[in-house]
Amino acid sequence: MEILLNFLETTGFYLIFGQPGNAIMILIGMIFIALAIIKDYEPLLLLPIGFGIIVGNIPFIASMQLSVYDDGSQGGGPMSVSVLSMIYFGVKYGLFPPLIFLGIGAMTDFSTMLSNPKLVLLGAAAQIGVFLTLLGALFLGFTPQQAGAIGIIGGADGPTAIFLSARLAPEFLGPIAIAAYSYMALVPVIQPPIMKLLTTREERLIRMKAPRKVSKREKIVFPIAAFLICTMIAPGALVLLGMLFFGNLMKESGVTERLAQTARTSMIDVVTILLGFAVGASTKAQYFLRAESLMIFGLGAASFAVATAGGVLFAKFMNLFLAEKINPLVGAAGVSAVPDSARVVQMVGQQEDPHNFLLMHAMAPNVAGVIGSAVAAGVLWSVLVVPAQPIPTPVGEPPQREQIEEQESSEPEAAHSGSPEGTTAFSLRRQPQDSRTRPDSSPEGAAQRIRTCFFRPFGASETVESRIPGTYASGYKLSPLRGWERTTSEVSPLEVHL
C-alpha cells in the first residue's frame, strides 16, 4: 500500500496541483495544436511546438531527469542527461537553424529577386522592426544582449531568432522562439490591417511588370557573390547565410540535384520536427511563465507590425523616384516569413483586383528579407557579443606558488566569487577556460604550431607521442595556466608521457 501511495505522489495528476503553471502551459499547447489543425495556421510549426509544450510541462519529481534542461550540467553523471536535452542540444547550440537554412536555400528560387533587384531594398527596410524593437526592449530594462535577441523577432524568421537568442540571451530562448514562430503563424492576421491602413486603394491596384527571364548563369553566380558580399560585411551571418546560399547553389547548379532534393524535403522536415518539438518542450512553466515572457510577446507583436509598416512605407518612398511604380503591398513581404507574407500580399492585392498577381513580385522582398534578417542577426551578434577577455602577456618571472597562495588568502572573496576579475575556485589564479593558446612568435614556435595544431586533442597544448613499442595511444599536456610561462625541459617524450 505504501508503495502505491509513494507511486501516486510521483504522478502528474498529484504534482500538477502544486504546479498550476504547468496546467496553463498544457492548455496553451492544446491551443497551438487546435490552431494548427482547425485554423490551419502554420501547422508544420505549431503542431510540433504545441505537442512539445505539452510534453515539456508534464510534472515529474525532481529526481527523474526528463526535461530539456536536464543536460548533466547539474552533476549526476551520464545518466542524468535526458533524451529531450539531447534533442534540445540542436536548439541550444544553434545546430538546427543553419540546417533549416540549408533546406530553405535548396527550395528558394531567387529568380524574381534577380529580375527586379530594386525590390531587395524592401527586405532591408523591413528590418527596421528589428532595431526599433531593440530600442523598445532596452527601454523596458532588458540588457543589450537580451534586447538584441528580442529585436530579431521582427525579422520574422524563426531559425534566425533561435540562432541569435541561443548566443545572446539563452535564458529567453524559449519565449523568443515561441514568440517568433507564433507571430510567423499569425502573419495572415497581423499584416493585412497594417497594409490596408498605410495604402490607398489606387496604390493597391498598381500592377507591376512581369519579371524577366533569368539565365542559369545568373542563378549560379548569385549565391556565391551574395554570400561573399554579406559575410564580408557581417561575418556573424556566416553560418546562416553560408547554409542558405550553399543550399541554393546545390539547387541551381544542377549537378547536385539529389542533394538539393534531400535538403529541401527529408532533411528540412526532420529538422523542423526536432526543432519545433524541442522548442515547445523548452517552455517549462517555471522558466516560461514570467513577466519577461509577456513583455517579449508584446515586443514581438510590435516588432512584426513595425517591420510590416517599414516595408510598405519604404515602397511608397521608392515610388516617389521610380517611373515604374511598385505596388506598396509587396513591401510587407520584406519581413521574411517565407512564403506566408508573400501569400498575404497576393491575398490583399486580389481583394482589390482579382486579376492582379503580386505573388511573384512579393517573393523578391520576401527572400531578401531572409538575407536581411540574417545580416541583422550577424550585426547584432558582432556588436553585442560579450568580448573575450584579453590574455595578459606574462612579464618577468612567473610567480611562485607560495606568492600566489599568499595573495589568494589575502583576497578570499575575489578568489572564490567566480567573477571575471577574481580567480575561480579549484585552481591557482586560474581564469575561466580559454581555448586559445599563447602564440610563440619564434620561427621554431611557428613550425611547432603547424606540426601539432591539427593533431592535438581539444584543450591540449601539445601532443606527446609514446615511444614504448606496442603502445600507440598519444598522451597530451593540458594548456598552461594563465600567467604561467611554458618551460621547455630536456626530458624525453617518453619521460613526459610517464
Q: Kindly tell me which of 114 and 278 has the beta carbon lying closer to another protein.
A: 114
Nearer to another protein by Cβ, of 103 and 223: the residue is 223
**Residue recorded with cell 533524451:** 83
Query: Which member of 271, 344, 376, 464 binds another protein (CB under 8 A)?
Result: 376
Q: At its nearest, how many Å lie between another protein and the CB of residue 286?
A: 11
Which of 116/272 has CB closer to another protein? Answer: 116
- Asked whether position 292 contacts another protein by CB under 8 A, the answer is yes
375 binds another protein (CB under 8 A): yes
Residue choice 46, 147, 169, 348 for contact with another protein (CB under 8 A): 147
- Considering the complex, what minimum distance in angstroms separates the CB of residue 190 from another protein? 21
Region from 28-36, 47-55, 131-139, 315-323 binding another protein, contact rule CB under 8 A: 131-139
Q: Residue 369 Cβ, how far from another protein at the closest point, in Å?
A: 9
Q: Which three cell numbers stand for residue 136?
A: 523598445
- For residue 252, the minimal CB distance to another protein (Å) is 11
Of the two residues 144 and 188, which places its CB atom closer to another protein in the complex? 144
Footprint (CB under 8 A) of another protein, residues 224-283: 225-226, 229-230, 233-234, 253-255, 257
Q: What cell numbers appear for 411 in the block?
A: 583576497
Q: How many residues bind another protein (CB under 8 A)?
A: 53
Site string for another protein, 94-123 (x = CB under 8 A): -------------------xx--xx-xx-x
C-beta closer to another protein: residue 275 or 296: 296
Q: Does 127 bind another protein (CB under 8 A)?
A: yes
Among 23, 44, 95, 140, binds another protein (CB under 8 A): 140
Please say which residue, 268 or 295, places its beta carbon nearer to another protein.
295
Min CB(340)–another protein separation in Å: 21
CB nearer another protein, residue 260 or residue 271: 260
Residue 376's closest CA among 55, 211, 131? 131
Closest CA relative to residue 174, chosen from 269, 41, 67: 67
Stretch that binds another protein, among 12-20, 144-152, 186-194, 471-479 (CB under 8 A): 144-152
Residue 262 vs 461, nearer CB to another protein: 262
Residue with smaller CB distance to another protein, 45 or 371: 371
Tell me which residue of 168, 127, 187, 109 sits closest to 374, measured CA to CA: 127
Query: Taking CB under 8 A as the rule, does residue 295 contact another protein?
Result: yes
For another protein, the closer of residues 201 and 213 by Cβ is: 213
Closest CA to 304 of 335, 348, 331: 335
Neighbouring CB atoms inside 10 A of 287's CB total 19
Candidates 80-88, 129-137, 197-205, 396-404: pick the segment binding another protein (CB under 8 A).
129-137
Residues that bind another protein (CB under 8 A): 113-114, 117-118, 120-121, 123-124, 127-128, 130-132, 134-135, 138-144, 147-148, 215-218, 221-222, 225-226, 229-230, 233-234, 253-255, 257, 290-292, 295, 368, 371-372, 375-376, 379-380, 383-384
